[in-house]
Amino acid sequence: MNPWKRPFLFPIYFILAVLLFGGVVMLLWNAIIPGLTGWAAISFPKALGLLVLCRILFGGFHGKGGHGGPSWKHRAEWRERWKTMNDEQRAEMRQRWRERCGPRFGRTPDQE
Residue 105 confidence (pLDDT) above 70: no
Q: Is residue 65 part of a domain?
A: no
Q: With contact defined as beta carbons under 8 Å apart, do 30 and 42 qualify?
A: yes
Residues 7 and 53 placed together within one structural domain of the fold: yes
Residues 46 and 77 placed together within one structural domain of the fold: no
Residues 25 and 47 placed together within one structural domain of the fold: yes
Residues 76 and 53 placed together within one structural domain of the fold: no
How many independent structural domains does the chain possess?
2
Residue range 16-73, pLDDT digits in tens: 999 999 999 999 999 999 999 989 999 999 999 998 898 888 876 555 545 555 567 7
Q: With contact defined as beta carbons under 8 Å apart, do 82 and 90 qualify?
A: yes
Helix (H, G, I), strand (E, B) or coil at 108: coil
Which has more confidence, 75 or 4?
75
Residues 47 and 83 placed together within one structural domain of the fold: no
Residues 9 and 46 placed together within one structural domain of the fold: yes
Which has more confidence, 111 or 102?
102
Structural domain of residue 90, as residue ranges? 72-111
Q: Is residue 27 part of a domain?
A: yes
Q: Is residue 63 part of a domain?
A: no
Which has more confidence, 76 or 111?
76
> Which pLDDT value is given to residue 8?
82
> Which pLDDT value is given to residue 97?
83
